[in-house]
């Protein structure tokens, strides 16, 4: 949650810190907070989505899509109404919205985790557990228009949900899948990503051991460390969480703790507990130690598989109250101000059916913001706007059927092809291809009417090279054959 | 629009006739009208989307995604409030919704044509015209819950928009692209699709020529022909559109007109005009003739390129008032009751900027309904739930890193791989693979601990065949390597 602006943001989970990048969204989007990409930008977004999906499926995650709406009751667990949610009303109901209690109204989902939990419970009889799923969809948040935040954006999530129980090896595997997915995006200019992991039990146990009681309050203030600094956080801990100066300093010491591996992490943590009088046989220590062991396992396993990909960072707090163990945030090298681009954690109590719980762990990429960064900072761009590699020229409207036949031949061989919109002057047709970035213009044989017929020719309008070509066998240069993303 | 239940449906354009298939949607969807697929069903939907996108891009269409919301003003052109629209309100505004005029509120888009028109005008400076785009997105309609209709569903659209003008060859090319896309879906059990084309100018000109004035009313009643029959339509034309018996019969004669090609169509139409006293030098005839010429061109061109794919059907009316020329509906062989699965038309006045118009032509597939039909009637199904081809077994939790290394090797070679969730008994691990449809279970070498070590082995759990295998070179049988859709 590095960089979120206020406490009220904390429920967001992912993508709360959008203010920073709002300036970079596609110009002309006339409704504030609802970004819309130009066609060439959409190529980049689509490529990012395709890449993530490929990695997720390679790792055995199953794709689902949930409906965009949930009931108010489901969106507002515990009756919280400070959330930024969009409720729906039918046009016919305008003026009578209040006749229906909010719990029974429909609202747009604000993340993909709450819908997943509901989906799993609803369809539990038809799923195999643990259920590993990927999901890339839009979410909506009813922010105040003037806040300049995204109110509609895309999230890309992976989660695994167990029935009854969930092995903790997923708590290291899922961040690693995300890292490998983000690694693939480096080809499009994304800097190296590092997952920062912490564990709720560790923090909570430590704070309890210190004698603090407002655990949620402490987590919320610690979450602000990167933004407002240690002095301000100390002040807030004292003023709003009932901490003494000494307790506040101890909280900051924990947040500052770093370690090269799990063993060092454990040793330093034990030292800290000893220094602050947290006994090893206390309930608080036992809880903290559970979290510590999981965190140590995560950093050691991750280091063995992909060194430097997942590190322990004891100041990661995350505002969402449904996390019960591991929590993750992900930062890009050299883009600290962007905040976390992929966050998540383990949640043991989000979904249940009678006595059966469905514990889960998952991470969510704030895709719209990531794409915004890639486009506007990392320099990712499409090699062309059109998916077509070839534009078939049309000499006269009477020749259009011949041009269409050539296009059909090329398409049948998998070469994306467009046909000139009108039988305009050749220069105008080439200009149309150029504007769309289409690299080849095809000249049907009738071009040479009047001259000696030389058959079809094809021109690479970038290099200027023009050669005789047969639409049943010609192949474009592999470098320009496909629409791609470059940096 | 074949099959829509009431006049109020007519504005829908596409997908109005959803009642019929609502029974077939994924069970357990707890909010009526918001279908949600089980993972195996989602495989089919995803494959359909991928296939359509492939065909659209092969034909040079550019993919865009528009925001899910538009202003009330944009959704309710001409101030019509009988539309079934969902309006949004922020949770914080509950009780004060009426403070904002509907025109200024945000609503969910009900189709992809209105958003496209807005997008084109907004971004006109950044687009090359004619702008050919594909778009596959959810749309929402605020139907009454008890109506049993889809309130959220996916549409797959192609449109081409011109700046100022738009050549009419697109009016035959776009239906042909849709036909070729639907043709690809026949591999998943979809019956042959035929586009039925008509032209608004033809109908309007003819009706005017007869002396009728309530043209929209006549179109609306003619639209019901398939459903309620000629006698009822005649009655309605007389009762609600001010037609005489003779005029009503003439309208039905036009609707019944069939022809093998454009020339025959023109000849029969001229006969009909003569029989009903519509003079060739009348304004009405001139208008009708414009439509007729376009329609004749469409059927002749289509017949030359793909015989039997597009036919003239003069009873196609389409309710949407924004169509100004060609109109299309598409029917599947043997699935008349499904109604049109792909509809559209030409619209010359939907978008404009100052004096500049942006005429367009496009078609829209009601994708959710189509997928529902494929799943529940055509028998399309995924060969497996999981994208993984291999499940690596885990003998002991201590062996998990070894299993992970094998999985990583396979994934690096493009083979989607999962790892067993727990080191359960082998039978349980195989059962997990079986439930997900994963065809291969990989036995790491440690399997043979105690026995003579024989290295890794892989078992096809369908055929029972088990062989020695090296994760750096082994390839799955090509038949089961990929997750596919079968019938």
The confidence band for A452, taking pLDDT boundaries of 50, 70 and 90, is low
Test B67 with A92 for CB contact under 8 angstroms: no
Q: State percent of chain B over pLDDT 70.
A: 90
Whether B138 and A68 lie within 8 Å, measured CB to CB: yes
pLDDT tops 50 at residue A11: no
Q: What is the pLDDT of residue A98?
A: 79
Report CA Rg, chain B.
28
Chain A residue with the nearest C-alpha to that of B416: A58
pLDDT of residue B27: 38
- The yes-or-no verdict on residue B129 having pLDDT over 60 is yes
Question: B 152-211 residues with CB below 8 A of A?
Answer: 152, 162, 167, 169, 173
Query: Chain A residues with CB inside 8 Å of B90's CB?
Result: 84-87, 142, 144
pLDDT digits (tens, 9 = 90+) for B49-91: 999 999 999 999 999 999 999 999 889 875 566 678 999 999 8
- In this complex, is the C-beta atom of A145 within 8 Å of any C-beta atom belonging to chain B? no
Q: Using the beta-carbon criterion (under 8 Å), do A60 and B387 form an inter-chain contact?
A: yes
Higher pLDDT, B282 or A350: B282
Asked whether the predicted pLDDT for residue A321 surpasses 80, the reply is: no
Contact between A155 and A14 under an 8 Å Cβ cutoff? The reply is yes
Per-residue pLDDT of A337-358, as tens digits, reads 888 999 999 999 888 888 899 9
Q: Which residue has the tokens 């090893």?
A: A280
Nearest-CB residue to B123 (from A38, A86, A388): A38
- B143-154 pLDDT, tens digit each: 887 776 899 999
Number of CB pairs, chain A paired with chain B, less than 8 A apart: 237
Parallel, antiparallel or unpaired: strands B62-63 and B131-140? parallel
Residue B91 annotated as lining a ligand binding site: no
Which domains, and CATH codes, for chain A?
Answer: 7-382 (3.30.930.10), 390-486 (3.40.50.800)
Which pLDDT score is estimated for A450? 53
What is the structure's pLDDT at B479? 84
B479 at the A interface (CB within 8 A)?
no
Specify the pLDDT at position B446.
67
Instruction: Flag whether pLDDT at B434 surpasses 70.
Output: yes
* A400-426 pLDDT per residue, tens: 999 999 999 999 999 999 999 999 999
Q: What is the dihedral of CA A53, A337, A36, B77, to 10 degrees?
A: 130
Between positions 90 and 119 of B, the ones with CB within 8 A of A are 90-92, 94-95, 97-98, 102, 106-108, 119
- pLDDT category of residue A453 using cuts at 50, 70 and 90: low
Chain B nearest CA to A91, separation (Å): 5
According to the model, what pLDDT value does residue A458 have?
A: 96
Q: Is B324 marked as binding a ligand?
A: no
CA proximity to B294, closest of B308, B278, B310, B271:
B310
Residue B25, pLDDT above cutoff 50: no
Q: Note the pLDDT of residue B99.
A: 84
Q: Is the pLDDT of residue B2 over 80?
A: no
Write down the pLDDT at residue B260. 87
Q: List, for residues A115-146, the tens digit of each pLDDT value.
A: 999 999 999 999 999 999 999 999 999 888 77
pLDDT, tens digit (0-9, with 9 covering 90-100), for A39-92 = 999 999 999 999 999 999 999 999 999 999 999 988 987 556 667 899 999 988
> Does B423 contact A at CB distance below 8 Å?
no
Q: What share of chain A in percent tops pLDDT 70?
A: 90
Give yes or no for residue A18 having a pLDDT over 50. Answer: no
pLDDT at A336: 82
Is pLDDT above 60 for B472? yes
Mean pLDDT estimate for chain A: 89
Contact flag B31-A106 (C-beta cutoff 8 Å): yes
Q: How confident is the model at residue B223 (pLDDT cuts 50, 70, 90)?
A: confident
Query: Which range among A20-29, A88-97, B118-127 shows the weakest confidence by mean pLDDT?
Result: A20-29
Q: What is the pLDDT of residue A78?
A: 56
Residue A429 has pLDDT above 70, yes or no: yes
- B50 CB neighbour count, 10 Å cutoff: 12
């Amino acid at each position: 949650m590095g960089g979120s602006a206020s406490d009220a943001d904390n429920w967001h989970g992912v993508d709360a810190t959008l203010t920073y990048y709002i300036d970079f969204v596609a110009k002309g989007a006339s409704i504030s907070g609802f970004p819309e990409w130009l066609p060439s930008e959409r190529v980049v977004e689509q490529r990012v989505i395709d890449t993530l999906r490929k990695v997720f499926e390679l790792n055995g995650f199953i794709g689902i899509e949930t409906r965009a709406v949930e009931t108010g009751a489901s969106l507002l667990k515990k009756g919280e109404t400070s959330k930024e949610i969009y409720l729906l009303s039918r046009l016919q109901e305008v003026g009578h919205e209040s006749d229906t209690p909010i719990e029974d109204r429909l609202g747009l989902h604000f993340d993909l985790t709450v819908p997943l939990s509901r989906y799993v419970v609803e369809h539990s009889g038809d799923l195999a557990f643990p259920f590993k799923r990927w999901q890339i969809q839009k979410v909506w948040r009813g922010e105040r228009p003037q806040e300049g935040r995204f109110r509609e954006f895309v999230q890309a999530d992976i989660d695994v949900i167990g029935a009854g129980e969930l092995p903790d090896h997923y708590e290291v595997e899922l961040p690693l899948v995300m890292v490998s997915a983000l690694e693939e995006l480096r080809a499009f200019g994304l800097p190296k990503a590092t997952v920062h992991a912490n564990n709720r039990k560790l923090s909570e146990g430590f704070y309890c051991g210190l004698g603090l009681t407002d655990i949620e309050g402490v987590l919320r203030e610690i979450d602000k460390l990167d933004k407002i600094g240690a002095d301000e956080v100390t002040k807030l801990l004292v003023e709003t969480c009932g901490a003494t100066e000494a307790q506040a300093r101890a909280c900051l010491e924990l947040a500052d703790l770093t370690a090269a591996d799990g063993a060092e992490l454990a040793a330093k943590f034990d030292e800290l507990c000893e220094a602050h009088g947290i006994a090893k046989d206390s309930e608080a220590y036992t809880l903290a130690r559970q979290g510590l062991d999981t965190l140590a396992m995560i950093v050691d396993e991750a280091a063995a598989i992909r060194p430097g990909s997942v590190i322990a960072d004891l100041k990661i707090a995350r505002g969402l109250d449904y996390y019960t163990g591991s929590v993750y945030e992900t930062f890009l090298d050299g883009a600290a101000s962007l905040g976390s681009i992929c966050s998540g954690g383990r949640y043991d109590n989000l979904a249940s059916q009678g006595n059966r719980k469905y514990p889960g762990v998952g991470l969510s990429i704030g895709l719209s913001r990531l794409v915004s960064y890639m486009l506007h900072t990392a320099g990712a761009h499409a090699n062309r706007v059109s998916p077509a590699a070839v534009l078939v020229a049309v000499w006269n409207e009477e020749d259009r059927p011949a041009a269409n036949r050539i296009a059909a031949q090329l398409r049948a061989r998998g070469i994306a092809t467009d046909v000139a919109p009108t039988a305009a002057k050749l220069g105008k047709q080439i200009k149309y291809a150029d504007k769309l970035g289409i690299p080849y213009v095809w000249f049907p044989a009738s071009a040479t009417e009047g001259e000696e017929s030389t058959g079809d020719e094809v021109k690479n309008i970038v290099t200027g090279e023009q050669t005789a070509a047969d639409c049943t066998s010609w192949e474009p240069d592999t470098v320009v054959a496909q629409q791609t993303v470059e940096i």
